[in-house]
Amino acid sequence: MCRPLPASRCVTRWPEPATRCASRSRRRWPWPRCGAARARLATCLGRWARGTKAGSDLARRPPDRGGAPAPSIPHPGGLLSTPDTDTLQAIDAYLNDNEARFLDELFEFLRIPSVSTDPENAADVRRCAEWLIEHLQGIGLSTVELHETPGHPIVYAEHLGKEGAPTLLVYGHYDVQPPDPLELWTTPPFEPQVREGKIFARGATDDKGQVFCHIKGLEAWLQTVGELPINVKLLIEGEEEVGSVNLDHWIAAHKERLSCDAVVISDSSMFAPGIPSITYGLRGLAYLEMTVEGPDHDLHSGLFGGAIPNPINEIAGIIARLHDDKGQVAIPGFYDDVIALSDEERADFAALPFDEAGFLEESGAAALRGESGYTTLERIWARPTLDCNGIWGGFTGVGAKTVLPAKAHAKFSCRLVPGQDPERVAEQAEAFVREIAHPSVRVTVTPHHGGKPVLTERDAPAVQAATRALSRVWGKEAVFTRGGGSIPVVATFSDILKAPTVLMGLGLEDDRLHSPDEKFNLENFYAGVRASAYLWDESQS
Amino acid sequence: MCRPLPASRCVTRWPEPATRCASRSRRRWPWPRCGAARARLATCLGRWARGTKAGSDLARRPPDRGGAPAPSIPHPGGLLSTPDTDTLQAIDAYLNDNEARFLDELFEFLRIPSVSTDPENAADVRRCAEWLIEHLQGIGLSTVELHETPGHPIVYAEHLGKEGAPTLLVYGHYDVQPPDPLELWTTPPFEPQVREGKIFARGATDDKGQVFCHIKGLEAWLQTVGELPINVKLLIEGEEEVGSVNLDHWIAAHKERLSCDAVVISDSSMFAPGIPSITYGLRGLAYLEMTVEGPDHDLHSGLFGGAIPNPINEIAGIIARLHDDKGQVAIPGFYDDVIALSDEERADFAALPFDEAGFLEESGAAALRGESGYTTLERIWARPTLDCNGIWGGFTGVGAKTVLPAKAHAKFSCRLVPGQDPERVAEQAEAFVREIAHPSVRVTVTPHHGGKPVLTERDAPAVQAATRALSRVWGKEAVFTRGGGSIPVVATFSDILKAPTVLMGLGLEDDRLHSPDEKFNLENFYAGVRASAYLWDESQS
């Protein structure tokens, strides 16, 4: 049912802008701007790595050191590239010499309660943006600007002038989730503290800590070399946790200025501790709602039952026919545009230390269930799905009511993989539902929203550069992962800037983002700073 | 799939008590005591008679006379029996002579606001019972008793002593529905008035007017002949509209005393105006609830979708498999015990002036939908069904949530036909659901309640006697109907007294029971009185 990438397919490529990705929009598809969903994406990247359990080769990672003083930044293994040794040695020395200050500065950043969702914190959010402006000016970036929006301000900076060199746009956010419930924090959320080698604070990993890695990575170059080896743009918004409500508009309005060869985002997690990871694909979404109407009012099942169509019976029949016996989606044409996984990708996924039992245990389900012929990682990362998200109709209270209800409703959504188009899938789904519905009922299918899948080719220069940078820092080859969810801003960059995105997650699965005792391992912070500094170097070629 | 009545089948027969109907109860099946549902049953008996539309042969019925004076009681046609002419002539004369008084007395009865559900009317309910006691004593019944219950009192009377003659138990109720909304009544609900040949008052047809027909039918014999030709027991409860909560217990406690050859109930409607009707079968019920559990908490559909079972998808698959392509219930064994309709029954149903288009229009559905090979009347009266009554799971609010929910639930119920046992069907359904559920989900099936179907054989003496009585009054042969719903008290009589029930509805479909401007046509009142008087006569043989 799958086939290789057709020439006309909408896939972002790097560094060539995906100009072939012409919009087929006839309907308007609002992008979901759910900060929570976006942040949760992190959890698909590595929660179930076998290494998070005992006994794997991941046990080779350096042990937590516990408490101050801060650890030394891991030294690069230099496995996969040929760096300018003098320059990088100078940068390494700078990073080592300034470890303590970097941590102090991150603490300053973390102390500002930039909770974007709470109007009482509006001034704090602005103060945080202003702190960033001042800080970015301090490290030597040539242009640093605060841009007003109808909501919280956007911080934008750039350091250009490297003609002929690639341009990377780093995206991050300086706003944070509310800290509630406060009583579950071991130490106050806005009084950062290092315990057992971990920085505890709201925003430590989501996303202040991770975006700060890039800021320090830029500083290292600017303060040692005096310039960057490539062109860098920095976009740090203050509304990610409230759905980035003003971001699309701002990006569209600054489309020329933001033009770049690739976007880099560090706002997620590594596949597992000690396993540097690049996420190069995300699933898209087509969300629909259907209503099945039988009688025009609720009827007594004794008086009408058996002669009048029952909307619940009928909607169940429709839903049942949306899958075939092999667990594939039965909507005609559904798989037509799917870009099949390559043998190399499948081999790479299979080589990951994925803890399937842990994944199942985390879900609490009795057994796995999915499309025949695919592994679990393939199913959640690279195969399209159809899940009912909600269903309701008739009497749902306690007890019994012998009603033959007038209507039944269901919400369902397809996770889409690269190649698939949300609108086309929605149309296919609607047509199929109408086709299989019994003529005695009226069926309404309403597309709710959608999001395009994202695929950055693994051999794209930005992906390769990030891979080399991470591999050098961790001394082992970075792995390629995909994500089962969506990160809407990635699709925005793809749509508006025609730029691919490299997701270079620096956090860990147990970082408790959005929860009490959010943390960021010191090791990951320092390694992240170094990975950023190396990224500029690796991106020159 | 159906087969003829086996010797051991639980079917009530008359006059022989159905002693073979041994209880198979292992679970406790509480009988639903829904007065509204019971009353609504009426609406299955004739709402869609073609005669209720224009242009049928039912137009032959006498036109409404409008206003006082009351019409003469229709004279019996004497088609189908050989009455004791002298006695019946005397009775006819008595009925004619006392028309006005009968109406006055009914008005007295109707003026008492015996609303059983409202505690403020408790004294009125009691006053109504006491009024009945006095009235029943007045007409000459030998035994008249008020029985206390934890709720409203039961009025019981009997007139026995006819050794060798059959015993009929007449059941009715003297409580009424609340009159709200009061502003929609043309005249006050407890100030009865005759307009256009109809008695308007709360309780006019449900059930004071109908039970009063039997009281006057008894009076006619007692006041003219001085005795009854058979033995009669009268049970008039005061809690029908609140679910007959104390009736089962009282019947069980007075089982010997209530013993009878058949029960007669006039608390429903004729198939159509001018078409005297006997309802000899009712459907039963097996009500169940199922829960399908996948993960043990709600999951993100992006992170788990495609690999973890989705309870909504799964429950839909289960529900879809409960029917086959022909609209039959696919539960193995479901039809094993069904007593097939005889050719005669099918022919009789087919001969009824059933307005199928009106039935469909009333439902508001786009088309009929049911089991292949059966007519609509057969489907709703005499074929078992399975209807989902409610379904819920996941996100059901406005908007979208990409949840893979932990659970999905459905309530479903089977309408059962004579031969089927609610417990057995529930067990079959539970076993089948467990069998077809995917092993990756946990399924719980909980029987909620049930009720046995009822079938009184059409050639049973009580049915034949009632048929002859009605036919004589209306001058045309009574038709046989069944009901698609349940009347729990009928099953109670069957279970406890082992007595069959004859449903001799005297009302009409447009009587607006439970609604403002409830009415009882004068013609039906007087015809009902006469039918009752004739019933005693016809029951002698």
Sign of the Cα torsion B362, B366, B367, B371 reads negative
Six token digits for residue B39: 């009353």
Query: Is B327 within 8 Å of B370 (Cβ atoms)?
Result: yes
Instruction: Considering only the beta carbons, identify the residue of B306, B385, B413 that sits closest to A383.
Output: B306
pLDDT of residue B388: 98
Q: Kindly report, residue by residue over A134-145, the tens digit of the pLDDT.
A: 999 999 999 999
- Does B448 contact A at CB distance below 8 Å? yes
Residues in chain B: 541
Edge-to-edge strand list for the sheet holding A519-521: A193-195, A198-200, A519-521
Tell me the chain B residues in contact with residue A364 when contact means C-beta distances shorter than 8 Å: 295-297, 406
Across A213-240, average pLDDT = 97
pLDDT at residue A509 in the model: 85
pLDDT number for residue A355: 94
The pLDDT value recorded for residue A49 is 65
- Sole residue written with tokens 């009266």: B381
| CATH dotted code for B67-282+454-538 | 3.40.630.10
Residue with the two structure tokens 């898209």 = A284
Q: What angle do CA A242, A380, B307 make, to 5 degrees?
A: 115
- What pLDDT does A517 receive? 95
Helices (H), A444-499: 461-474, 488-492
Q: Is B41 in contact with A303 (Cβ distance < 8 A)?
A: yes
CB A490 within 8 A of CB A248: no
Number of cross-chain residue pairs from A and B with Cβ atoms under 8 Å apart? 325
Whether A240 is a known active-site residue: answer yes
Distance from CA of A494 to the nearest CA of B (A): 20
Give the model's pLDDT for residue A83: 53
Mean pLDDT to the nearest integer, B341-364: 95
CA distance B356 to B514: 25
Q: Which of A316, A371, A397 sits opposite B388 (nearest CB)?
A: A316
Read off the pLDDT band of A487 (50, 70, 90): confident
Best B313, B414, B448 residue to mutate vs chain A (most A CBs within 10 Å):
B313
**Average pLDDT value for residue range A414-418:** 96
At residue B24, the pLDDT reads: 28
Largest Cα–Cα distance of chain B, in whole Å? 88
The answer to which of A169-173, A416-420, B64-68 has the lowest mean pLDDT is B64-68
Token code pair at residue B381: 């009266």
Q: What is the DSSP string of A441-452?
A: SEEEEEEEEEE-
CA distance A288 to A413: 6
Sheet holding B385-394, edge to edge: A442-451, A284-293, A407-416, A385-394, B385-394, B407-416, B284-293, B442-451
Q: What is the pLDDT of residue A486?
A: 84
Q: What pLDDT score was predicted for residue A72?
A: 44
In the stretch 267-306 of chain A, residues with CB closer than 8 A to chain B read 283, 285, 287, 294-297, 299-306
pLDDT at A84: 62
Is B64 one of the annotated active-site residues of the chain? no
Lowest mean pLDDT among A131-145, B37-51, B290-304, B389-403: B37-51
Q: Quick one: which H or E segment has residue B287?
A: strand B284-293
- Catalytic site residue from A206, A240, A378, A537: A240
Set of chain A residues whose Cβ sits within 8 Å of the Cβ of B44: 300, 302-303
The pLDDT tens digits of the residues spanning A290-347 come to 999 999 999 999 989 999 999 999 999 999 999 999 999 999 999 999 999 999 999 9
Between A73 and A235, the more confident residue is: A235
Give one DSSP letter per residue of B320-376, joined into a string: HTTB-TTS-B-STTTTTT-BPPPHHHHHHHHHS-B-HHHHHHHHT-SS----TT--H
Cβ separation of B317 and A317 shorter than 8 Å?
Answer: no
Nearest chain A residue (CA) to B327: A306
Per DSSP, what are the bridge partners of residue B407? Answer: B293
* pTM for this entry: 0.81
Measured between CB atoms, which of A305, A387, A396 is closest to B385? A305
Average pLDDT over residues A508-528: 94
- pLDDT tens figures, A3-15: 332 333 222 222 2
* B255 contacts chain A (CB < 8 A): no
Do residue A367 and residue B439 have CB atoms under 8 angstroms apart?
A: yes
What pLDDT is recorded for position B84?
62
Residue type, A262: A
Residue A540 C-alpha, separation from nearest chain B C-alpha, in angstroms: 35
| Residue type at position B472 | R
Please indicate whether, in this complex, the C-beta atoms of B402 and A297 are within 8 angstroms of each other: no
Q: Cα angle vertex B503, ends B500, B506, to 5°?
A: 160
Chain A residues with beta carbon closer than 8 angstroms to that of B417 = none
User: Which of A60-64, B26-30, B62-66, B122-126 is the least confident region?
Assistant: B26-30
Residue B533 has pLDDT above 50, yes or no: yes
Chain A positions in Cβ-Cβ contact with residue B305 (cut-off 8 Å)? 380, 385, 387, 415, 484
* Contacting B residues, span 405-434, partner chain A, CB-CB under 8 Å: 405-406, 408-411, 413, 415
- The answer to whether A392 contacts B387, with C-beta atoms less than 8 Å apart, is no
Instruction: Provide the phi-psi class of A194: left if phi over 0, else alpha when psi is between -120 and 50, else beta.
Output: beta
- Return the pLDDT at A488: 83
Residue A329 confidence (pLDDT): 98
Between these two residues, B204 and A244, which has the higher pLDDT value? B204
How many whole angstroms separate alpha carbon B280 and alpha carbon B270? Answer: 13
Q: Which amino acid is at B402?
A: T
Catalytic residue among B92, B105, B158, B175: B175
pLDDT bracket for residue A532 (50, 70, 90): very high
pLDDT digits (tens, 9 = 90+) for B82-100: 456 789 999 999 999 999 9
What does the pLDDT read at residue A50? Answer: 58
Whether residue A56 has pLDDT greater than 50: no
CA distance A404 to chain B (A): 6
Give CA separation, B434 vs B113, B290, B343, in Å: 51, 10, 37
pLDDT band at B450 (very low <50, low <70, confident <90, very high): confident
Per-residue confidence (pLDDT) for residue A26, from 0 to 100: 27
| A32: pLDDT strictly greater than 50 | no
Rounded to the nearest integer, the mean pLDDT of chain B is 86
Which CATH topology does B284-451 take?
Alpha-Beta Plaits (3.30.70)
Q: Where are the domains of chain B?
A: 67-282+454-538, 284-451
Assigned CATH class of A73-280+455-538: alpha beta
pLDDT tens by residue, B347-357:
999 999 999 99
- By the 8 A CB rule, do A502 and A456 touch? yes
3-state SS, residue A311: helix
A 10 A CB-CB count for B72 gives: 12
Inter-residue contact A504 to A265 (CB < 8 Å): yes
* Cβ count within 10 A of residue B503: 29
Q: Is residue A309 less than 8 Å (CB to CB) from chain B?
A: yes
CA angle B38, B44, B50 (to 5 degrees): 155
Give A403 to chain B, closest Cα distance, Å.
Answer: 5
CB atoms near residue B310 (< 10 Å):
34
Tokens representing residue A352 in the block: 């990951």
The pLDDT value given to residue B42: 35
3 state SS of A14: coil
In this structure, how many other beta carbons lie within 10 angstroms of the beta carbon of residue A56?
A: 16
A303, A369, A449: residue with CB nearest B438: A369
CB B384 within 8 A of CB B281: no
Rounded Cα gap, residues B174 and B132, in angstroms: 9
**Do A440 and B365 lie within an 8 Å CB cutoff?**
yes
CA closest to A402 among chain B residues:
B389
Which pLDDT does position A128 carry in this prediction?
98
> For the segment B522-531, what is each residue's pLDDT rounded down to a tens digit?
999 999 999 9
Q: Is B62 helix (H, G, I), strand (E, B) or coil?
A: coil
Residue B64 has pLDDT above 90, yes or no: no
Judge whether residue B32 has pLDDT over 70: no
A199 at interface of B, judged by CB pairs closer than 8 A? no
Q: Can you tell me the mean pLDDT for B450-476?
A: 93
Contact call for residues A110 and A204 (beta carbons, < 8 A): yes
Position A64 scores a pLDDT of 35
Q: Is the Cβ–Cβ distance between A248 and A496 less than 8 Å?
A: yes
Q: Are A151 and A228 in contact (CB under 8 A)?
A: no
d(CA B339, CA B100): 47
Q: What is the pLDDT of residue A294?
A: 97
Kindly report which listed range (A256-270, A527-541, B12-26) carries the lowest average pLDDT score. B12-26
Q: How many Cβ atoms sit within 10 Å of the Cβ of residue B425?
A: 27
Q: Quick check: B393 and A391 CB within 8 A? A: yes
Position A110, amino acid? L
Q: How buried is A210 (Cβ within 10 angstroms: 0-12 exposed, 13-18 middle, 19+ buried)? A: buried
Among A366-370, B71-75, B268-272, B342-346, name the one with the lowest average pLDDT: B71-75
Whether residue B369 and residue A396 make contact (CB cut-off 8 A), yes or no, is: no
pLDDT at B399: 87
pLDDT cut 70: percent of chain B above it: 84
> For residues A308 and B364, what is the distance between their CA atoms, to the nearest angstrom?
9
| B319 inside 8 A of chain A by CB | yes
Q: Taking a contact as any Cβ pair under 8 Å apart, which residues of chain A between 335 and 374 contact chain B?
A: 359-360, 363-371
